[in-house]
Chain A
Amino acid sequence: KAGVTQTPRYLIKTRGQQVTLSCSPISGHRSVSWYQQTPGQGLQFLFEYFSETQRNKGNFPGRFSGRQFSNSRSEMNVSTLELGDSALYLCASSPRDRGLGETQYFGPGTRLLVL
């Protein structure tokens, strides 16, 4: 099976702009989670989507939002970009077919630089 893919891989934006990142999960996986990775804060959970519904959300401001489509592909949007939003944004997919915690497989990430 093909792995998790993310587009674009690199992005440069200026403060105040908005950005949309895309994630295609492994075929058959229904859950997509998003994480922000920075040198200072490490890997931080943003949100998780399952069957087009946001099931869990991390401690990020409302400028960070996401959605999931019927084919399980997911997008995340960041509005009114700030310098501190510069980071590697990772998505991870999991099958979500058991009650216990699921293995998550990461995509290559989108590196966002805000100038």
Chain B
Amino acid sequence: GENVEQHPSTLSVQEGDSAVIKCTYSDSASNYFPWYKQELGKRPQLIIDIRSNVGEKKDQRIAVTLNKTAKHFSLHITETQPEDSAVYFCAQGDSWGKLQFGAGTQVVVTP
């Protein structure tokens, strides 16, 4: 199959703490792993992505790691802020424009 499993489904963190979301994929042909943030009533916004030839990528407070052998990748958000509250989706992509999304993680950052 071509499923992406995403955990946890909900995540509550205190402001300033770190948040970690993990995804596992099954399609060996996947070579692209983006993360999207979707606020209520808005479109998914790309926050970071990683390609299969890279193991880790960081952008300010956000980082993604990829383990191709184990077929899992993770999103790390450090020093969380209330504006980080949203639903986060991981996805696996191939070279043909198809993204398979995880079920999403509702992140709530409490002040």
Contacts and interface: CB of A to CB of B under 8 A. Distances in A.
A43 B97 contact: no
Contacts, number: 73
Contacts of B49: 103
Interface in A61-115: 90, 92, 94, 96, 99-109
B93 A101 contact: yes
A31 interface: yes
Contacts of A50: 97
Interface residues of B, number: 29
Interface stretch (B13-21, B38-46, B57-65, B66-74): B38-46
Contact of B97 (A90, A96, A109): A96
Nearest to A33: B97
Given A48-B97, A55-B96, A101 B32 contact: yes
Nearest to B46: A103
B23 to A, nearest CB: 13
**A contacts with B: majority SS:** strand
Given A55-B96, A56-B96, A105 B46 contact: yes
A103 B43 contact: no
A: contact size bracket: 20 to 34
Most buried by B among A43, A50, A94: A43
A100 B42 CA distance: 28
A101 B31 contact: yes
Interface string B94-109: 1111111111100000
Contact of A31 (B91, B97, B103): B97
B51 interface: yes
A48 B46 contact: no
A104 B97 CA distance: 8
Nearest to B96: A56
